Amino acid sequence: MRWWRRYSECRKSLGSAMADSRNLYQEVILDHNRKPRNWGVLADATHKSEGLNPLCGDHIYLSLKLAGSNIEAVRFEGESCAICKASASMMTTLVKGKSQQDAEQMVNEFRDMATGKLDTSKEPHHLGRLTVFAGVRDLPTRVKCAILPWHTLHAALHSLTTTSTEADADPLQTPVIGT
Ligand code: ZN
């Protein structure tokens, strides 16, 4: 086979792989917006936080129920754009049943993926299906929409009642309390 044919086939398969990941991204966003998982407020929450992204107008409430260091239940609600809502919905499904430490690791990995510091196609991670959000790193205005639920989870785990993507201090740098 001539090199240029191989090249063009390679280009083609790369192109369709990228189209697949875009389609998957759109499907996930649509699905979680139509049917957000774990929507609402936990009546018996042990930890709560409110997250704001003034740049987009995203405003979410997150409530958690911890048993020891295990996240037994988690719910969210609020007004937000589709990316924020899908990210929050997916986050709740993935951190439920996890330890606080594992959830914090996902917070850091998600933040690193969304800001382009972690290449999930090459480096080890624990993000699973959340890698569909890797593409937001190329959309600077949407990065904060995708990260807000994770900021809010971090804040809730540290008993901070409010967090904002526009806070002076990076909320993810808040020292760990009680561990
Ligand atoms: Zn948003």
Coil, strand or helix at 16: helix
* 109 inside domain: yes
In a domain, 25, yes or no: yes
Residue 32 lies in a domain: yes
- pLDDT value, residue 17: 62
Structural domain including 136 reads 13-173
Residue 60 Cα to ligand 1 middle (Å): 10
Cα–ligand 1 centroid distance for 125 (angstroms): 25
Report the distance separating Cα 113 and Cα 94, nearest Å. 16
Q: In what order do the strands lie in the sheet with 70-79?
A: 70-79, 58-67, 47-53, 162-164
Q: Token pair of 121, please?
A: 């196609």
Cα 169 to the chain's mean position, in Å? Answer: 20
Q: Which residues have C-beta within 8 Å of that of residue 147, sequence separation ≥ 6?
A: 87, 110, 111, 114, 115, 165
Going from the Cα of 82 to the center of ligand 1, the distance in angstroms, rounded, reads 7
pLDDT digits (tens, 9 = 90+) for 105-156: 999 999 999 999 999 999 999 999 899 999 899 988 899 999 999 999 999 9
3-state secondary structure of 99: strand
Instruction: Write the CATH number for 160.
Output: 3.90.1010.10
Q: Quick check: is 4 in a domain?
A: no
Q: In this structure, is residue 126 part of a structural domain?
A: yes
CA of 51 from ligand 1 middle (Å) equals 11
Ligand 1 centre distance from Cα of residue 10 (Å): 36
What distance in angstroms lies between residue 3's CA and the mean position of ligand 1's atoms? Answer: 45
Q: Is the pTM of this model over 0.75?
A: yes
Tens-place pLDDT, residues 22-73: 788 888 899 999 999 999 999 999 999 999 999 999 999 999 999 999 999 9
Per the structure, how many domains does the chain have? 1
